[in-house]
Every structure is written in C-alpha cells, then in structure tokens.
Amino acid sequence: MKMSSMMPDVREVLISSEEIQARIRQIGERITEDYRGERPLLIGVLRGAVVVMGDLMRNIDLPCEIDFMDISSYGSGTSSSGVVRILKDLEEDITGRHVLIVEDIVDTGLTLSYLRRSLLARNPASLEICALVTKPSRRRVEIDVKYLGFEVPDEFVVGYGLDYDGAYRNLPDICVLKPEVFGAGSGG
Ligand code: IMP
C-alpha cells in the first residue's frame, strides 16, 4: 500500500494494519461462534469505532445489525474529563436483544462503564463489549471487555479510527505521534 502522507507526524507504528486485520478476523470468528443462532446488534461508539465496526462486521458470519451512539467524554485534548454526555442516542430498541458494544479504545474505562450502565437499564437479553485497544495502566474503573484486540502502553495513540484533535483517524496503522505534533494544531 502507498505510504500515508501523515507518516512524517508518526514517531512509531505500534500495531500495523496487517496485525489489526488478522486480530479482527479472529475476533469475528469467536463472535460468530458465540452468537450462533442469534441476530446480534452491534453498537458502535462514534466516531472512533466506525473503522473497527466496518471491518469487524464483515468478519461476523451471522445476520447482524448495527447502530451507533455518540457520547462525549473528551474535549479536543488528550486526557479524560470524566464527563460523559449522550450526544446521539440509538435508533433501535435494544430490549431483549443480544447487544455487543464495539469500541475503539478503553482508556480510563469511564466512557464504557457509563455506556454499559445506561444500556443495561434498557433490558437487553445480553450485553458484551468488544474493544480493539486497551490501555490497562490508565484504568480508573473496572470494565469487563470480552473481545479484546490489543494492549498498548500508556501513550496517546492515533490511527484506525482514533484521532488527535479530529485528525489521523484514516491512518491504517495504530501509531504514536511525534511530541512536536501535540499542541501544533488548533486544539489542546
Ligand atoms: P475512556 O472513557 O477514558 O476509556 O476513553 C474512551 C475514549 O477516549 C475513546 O473512545 C477515545 O475516543 C478516547 N481516547 C482515549 N485514549 C485515546 C488515545 O490514546 N487516542 C485517541 N483517543 C483516545
């Protein structure tokens, strides 16, 4: 593949797109086994989960549906505010459904823990979490991620849906930016 024009901003590729694709194939196979006979509803958290959702759903060999929610826990900076707001709610009624939350990254866990609680209150038949990346050293609340892609160290990562100040989501690899990139944009 042609090298991305964003690569000069990248200090290090932590997880290559080939590794990501291989892992997503495995996770898709596990989900296919675990939900055999069901019609799961995958719920993506905007906007970061759009990329993993697109690849994951094509690796699940079952009839399934997707829906999206937008919640905000971050401003344009790189640290958690702890404030979670629903900006866009689901279109689907999840009562009695087998729901799988699809997230890009679990950092402090605050976002997912809030989302999990608010979805459980709507009485789904089951509720599990799939996250491509986790930063365990940053966790502030316990969160059970049944389908997990990769662990990364305590670094701010971008690419494969993850942004810094709105950009870099379209990088195919998961990368760490050069320090001089932070603060150079419009935001924090
Ligand atoms: P949490 O509530 O702290 O677990 O944060 C979850 C959200 O913060 C993710 O869905 C991302 O949008 C954002 N986030 C956390 N860490 C990173 C990172 O390293 N890169 C990009 N976004 C991140």
Ligand 1: atom nearest CA of 155 is 19
Are the C-beta atoms of 101 and 40 separated by less than 8 Å? no
Between the CA of 107 and the centroid of ligand 1 the distance, in Å, is 5
The residues carrying an active-site annotation are 107
Best residue among 14, 51, 74 to mutate for probing ligand 1's pocket (most ligand atoms within 8 Å of CB) is 74
Tokens of 117: 């609680």
Question: Mean pLDDT for each 10-residue chunk of the chain (188 residues)?
Answer: 86 97 98 98 96 98 97 60 81 97 94 92 98 94 96 96 96 96 67
- Whether ligand 1 lies within 6 angstroms of the CB of 72 is answered as no
Q: List C-alpha distances in Å: 127 to 25, 40, 42, 43, 102.
A: 21, 10, 10, 10, 11
| pLDDT value of position 3 | 81
What is the pLDDT at residue 31?
98
Structural class in CATH, domain 16-155? alpha beta
Ligand 1 atom showing the smallest separation from residue 138 Cα: 3
In a 3-state reduction of DSSP, which class is residue 100? strand
**From CA 75, how far away is CA 88, in angstroms rounded?**
16
Confidence (pLDDT) at 183: 78
State the pLDDT at residue 60: 98
Q: 73-102 as b/e, with b when 16 or more CB fall inside 10 Å?
A: beeeeeebeeebeeeeeeeeebeebbbbbb
Nearest CA to ligand 1 atom 9: 105
E strands along the chain, which residues? 10-15, 41-46, 65-72, 85-88, 98-106, 126-134, 147-151, 157-158, 174-177
pTM score, whole prediction: 0.92
Question: What does the block give as tokens for 10?
Answer: 């990248």
Q: What are the sequence ranges of the domains in the chain?
A: 16-155
